[in-house]
A and B are shown apart, each in its own frame.
Chain A
Amino acid sequence: MRVLMFGWEFPPYNSGGLGTACKGLAKALAKKGAKIFFVMPRKVDVDADYLEFIFADKSKHFVVNSLLTPYSSVQSYAERYIEEKTSNSLYGQDLFEEIERYARVAESIASSVDFDVIHAHDWMTFKAACRAKKVSKKKLVVHVHATEFDRTGGNGFNAKVYEIEKQGLEEADKVIAVSNYTKRKIIEVYGIPEEKICVAHNGVEFENVCLERAHKLKEKNKIVLFVGRLTLQKGPDYFIYAAKKVLELKPNTIFLVAGSGDMECFLINKVAEMGIADRVLFTGFLRGRELSRAYAMADVYVMPSVSEPFGISPLEALTHQTPVLISKQSGVSEVLRHCLKADFWDIDEIANKIIAMLSFPELGDCMLENSQEELPKITWEKTAEKCMEVYSSLKW
């Protein structure tokens, strides 16, 4: 099986879960004997001997130099475009022009590589993948990690992005959704027939786990952690509203907000306004060892996402022996039982559960003990197995 895989980022050069997911899946697929050509929009210094990367800027391929990051909204792209325009005039006018350009390059990549199936991850790769399908006449699998609906919480989503997603989903021969939650969205919001969609839950990898729990902050405080982009989708605002409620009963608590994004200013102002600025610390975007450290030192990890197609981070927190509270509006809640769950909008319930975890250590102990049996069953191997099934269901 030779797979031409269109991705956007790859650890350590990732800004979120998409890169982590691509790596976990590609590695597991390679283990199952698949040959993966992993196409990325720009040259990055990644090292994974189980894949062949195509950066398209070496002699036989094209440069795909782009401003794109998979999570940028149209507006934030425009802002960055203005910033960067002066330094590099090669960049296109807007996000969609970049996508077009990338799609044109995909055509020549598709004709220079020998493969059996195309597998594309999320909307920014869809145009490229469709173009590759057109020139190669090979079957196309699109993998949905998030939709415009998730990113915007259903409010004011970008019609152009929706169009690209819809077109990709329609042109695909099969769609892989990361959860039943996402599958429902693809049916309801994009009108894709149910039988075309398979669900393959994400897995979790146990690597580079830091278990250093001690920290100066912890001498007098318990720590509640948020990790994620500071955007509407991830619900950081619900996290700080819950923090305010928790602090009324548990003043010796520190809330760590790890991530960056367009809501950062709003959140910092809000925290100050609520008078809890000394209790809510913004760390900025964390990766690698720093992120691992944050997971390990936390007493509770909270994922209050408004709409989370899957959500790998709670699994990462659990591998660091930190119990988790997750939004019911998430795909991961379909595979994780030994955790606490709440509706993202139910601030009282989120606070109630955070307080319980801080008050009764037996609660976290029990969840961790049981999740150690549950976690090993949530593997990328299973995801890869599902993908292989999907590939073989397509006759070519």
Chain B
Amino acid sequence: MVSVCFYFQVHQPFRVRKYRVFDIGSPNYFSYEGESNLNNKLVLEKVARKCYIPANKLLLKLLRKHEKFKVSFSLSGVVIEQFERFFPEVLDSFKELVKTGKVELLGETYYHSLAFLKSRREFVRQVKKHERKLWQVFKIKPQVFRNTELIYNNELARVAGELGYSGVLAEGHEKILGWRSPNFVYSPAGAKRIKLLLKNYKLSDDIAFRFSERSWSEWPLTASKFSAWVSALNGNADTVNLFMDYETFGEHQWQSTGIFEFLESLPKELLKHPDNDFKTPSEVIASYPARDTIDAPYFISWADIERDLSAWLGNKMQLAALNSLYSLEQDVMQTRDEALIDSWAKLQTSDHFYYMCTKWFSDGDVHKYFNPYESPYDAFINFMNVLNDLKARIDDKLKRRKLLNDNKHL
């Protein structure tokens, strides 16, 4: 039996508008109304048009057509917030998918952040906030957890288990697998209650990255070819975990590449083999035993060829920005000012650090494509200017509060 387990990541950050040092004093960080890719509403509209709307429509059709077809999503809190604000009909289409009962939603940090690397308290706060959001919008409680960009180590599995999750996702990379196959369920080292699902990065990336690459020897990729690869694993696999950005469909791989036709025929082709089926992550965990223990003492992720943290923490700017940001945690929490805390947390979204990445010469093209700033240096300058404004507002707030308290005691 091979269970195909789809997980699609849905996320859009609140990009920081062009913010010069002379703008300090203006609390407006995320609302740019101009024509560039810093306009969050415009970007969301574009991606919704190219991906979310047509892909949701197609998935709904497939879920209704094929009884066995199932998928899972993780929607970051910040993308849900943007749907609510700019595009409620897209959120409705996700709700409709969930209502089919064959779509699982995963837990993650509300702000799609790197909080796990810097502050356990903030990490837990964001996971809980995301759970509340999923309950409010979809009336579901997530069972399986995925951390931002599949950043993972033993400790993450342990913490996710403590938070009540029964499963956690990670990149199925040789770094942690060694000779073993990603196509089984595993136990994370040192975490008893939780199971580990590993991405089959070869098959996932065949769709997500190589689908339209004409220099690839397997181009063009058809649903029947892909299904044959999956079926060939029968007898030697429990699950094939296909994890990818949802924007693969229509945004990273444009409609003209035939990606939607591929997706449309995939369930039918996969189900032609009697031993294939589809399962959501929690179903995979319930259905298959853990075959071995995976030890991940160091962080891995699904990003770039390095599969490490270097896309976000690879240079001095990124480190400086991240450290300055988290150095504000105590103060910003003390303000008990919702707006300030929310702005601070929105700056934690991993994309802001990704934009500052200077690894341009190896896998730089992907970075450049996703970067709404002219350069990583511009991204850093913008971010630090905003951060300095936020810091000033926090200080101001605390000072005023102290003044008030002092007056009371007089």
Chain A interface (Cβ < 8 Å from any Cβ of B): 245, 249, 337-341, 348-349, 351-353, 355-356, 359-360, 362-363, 365-367, 369-370, 373
Quick check: is B333 within 8 A (CB to CB) of the other chain? no
Give A249 to B375 CA distance when docked, in angstroms. 24
A356 and chain B: residue at smallest CB distance: B381
Whether the Cβ atoms of A362 and B316 lie closer than 8 Å is yes
Q: List 7 A-B contacts (CB under 8 A).
A: A338-B377, A339-B377, A352-B20, A353-B381, A360-B381, A360-B384, A363-B381
From A351, A360, A370, residue with most partner B Cβ within 10 Å: A360
**Interface: B229 (CB within 8 A):** no
- What distance in Å separates the Cβ of A181 from its nearest Cβ neighbour in chain B? 17
A362, B381: Cα distance in complex, Å: 11
A373 CB to nearest chain B CB (Å): 7
Nearest CB to that of A370 among chain B residues?
A: B358
Whether A352 and B21, one on each chain, are in contact in the complex, defined by CB atoms closer than 8 angstroms, is: yes
B93 CB-CB contact with A under 8 Å: no
Query: Least Cβ distance of B231 to chain A in Å?
Result: 46
Contact of A362 among B20, B317, B361, B385 (CB under 8 A): B317
Chain B residues with CB under 8 Å of A249's CB are 21
Q: Can you name the residue of chain B whose Cβ is closest to the Cβ of A355?
A: B21
When A and B form their complex, which 3 residue pairs have the shortest distance between CB atoms, in order from nearest? A362-B316, A352-B20, A356-B381
A362 touches B320 (CB 8 A): yes
Most A-side CB within 10 Å, residue of B21, B22, B320: B21
**A contact residues around B361 at 8 Å (CB):** 373
A360 touches B377 (CB 8 A): no
Find B319's partner among A340, A341, A362 (CB 8 Å cutoff): A362
B127 CB to nearest chain A CB (Å): 30
CB distance from A126 to the nearest CB of B (A): 37
| Contact pick for B317, options A341, A349, A351, A366, CB 8 Å | A366
Q: How far is the CB of A287 from chain B (nearest CB, A)?
A: 31
Q: Which residues of B contact A362 (CB under 8 A)?
A: 315-317, 319-320, 380
Q: How far is the CA of A250 from the CA of B173 in the complex (A)?
A: 48
- A359: B residues at CB distance < 8 A: 384
Chain A residue nearest to B24 (CB atoms) is A249
List of B residues within 8 angstroms of A349 by Cβ = 20
- Closest chain B residue, CB of each to CB of A365: B316
B370 at the A interface (CB under 8 A) = no
Which residues in B have their C-beta under 8 angstroms from that of A339? 377
B310 to chain A, nearest CB (A): 13
Query: Are A352 and B377 in contact, CB atoms less than 8 angstroms apart?
Result: no
Min C-beta distance of A346 to chain B, whole Å: 10
Q: Which residues of A contact B320 (CB under 8 A)?
A: 360, 362
Interface residues of B in 1-43 (CB under 8 A from A): 20-22
Interface string of B216-228 (1 = CB under 8 A from A): 0000000000000
Contact B317 A352 (CB under 8 A): no
State which of B22, B315, B380 has its C-beta within 8 Å of the C-beta of A360.
B380
**In the complex, are the beta carbons of A363 and B22 less than 8 A apart?**
no
- Report if B374 contacts A (CB, 8 A): yes
Option from B20, B316, B384 in Cβ contact (under 8 Å) with A366? B316
Taking a contact as CB atoms closer than 8 A, the residue among B20, B21, B315, B375 that contacts A337 in the complex is B375
Contacting residues, chain A, for B298 (C-beta < 8 A): none
Task: Indicate if the CB atoms of A352 and B358 lie closer than 8 Å.
Answer: no
Within 8 A of A (CB), among B141-167: none
B209 contacts A by Cβ under 8 Å: no
On chain B, the residues within 8 Å of A363 by CB distance are 317, 377, 380-381
Interface positions of B from 340 to 384, Cβ below 8 Å from A: 358, 360-361, 374-378, 380-381, 384
CB <8 Å contact, B21 and A338? no
Q: Which residues of A contact B360 (CB under 8 A)?
A: 337, 370
Q: Which residue of A lies closest to B359 (CB)?
A: A370
Q: How far is the CA of A214 from the CA of B22 in the complex (A)?
A: 31
Tell me the bound Cα distance from A355 to B24 in angstroms: 13
CA distance A55 to B17 in the complex (A): 58
Of A341, A362, A370, most B-chain CB atoms within 10 Å: A362
A362-B319, A373-B361 are contacts. A367–B22 as well, Cβ < 8 Å?
no
Partner of B377, one of A348, A366, A373: A366
Give the shortest distance, in Å, between B19 (CB) and chain A (any CB). 9
Given the interface contacts A338-B358, A366-B315, does A356 sit within 8 Å of B21 by beta carbon? yes
Which of A245, A356, A369 contacts B385 (CB under 8 A)? A356
B45 to chain A, nearest CB (A): 28
CA distance A224 to B320 in the complex (A): 23
Query: How many whole Å from B388's CB to the nearest CB in chain A?
Result: 8
What separation, in Å, do the CA atoms of A22 and B367 have in the docked complex? 38
Q: Measured between C-beta atoms, what is the minimum distance from A139 to chain B in Å? A: 38
B20 surroundings in chain A (CB, below 8 A) = 348-349, 352
Is A356 a contact of B384 with CB atoms below 8 Å?
yes
Asked if A366 meets B358 with Cβ closer than 8 Å, knowing A356-B385, A359-B384, the reply is: yes
Whole-angstrom distance between the Cβ of B347 and the nearest chain A Cβ: 16
Residue of B whose beta carbon sits closest to that of A328: B374
Residue contact B381 to A352, C-beta cutoff 8 Å: yes
Q: Which residues of B contact A369 (CB under 8 A)?
A: 315-316
CB distance from B332 to the nearest CB of A (A): 21
Docked-complex contact B316 and A341, CB < 8 angstroms: no
- Least CB separation from A357: chain B residue: B381
Residues of B with C-beta under 8 A to A365: 316
Contacts of B375 in A (CB 8 A): 337, 340-341
- Cα A339 to Cα B381 with chains together (Å): 12
Bound-state Cα–Cα, A292 to B377, Å: 26
List chain B residues, Cβ under 8 A from A360.
317, 320, 380-381, 384
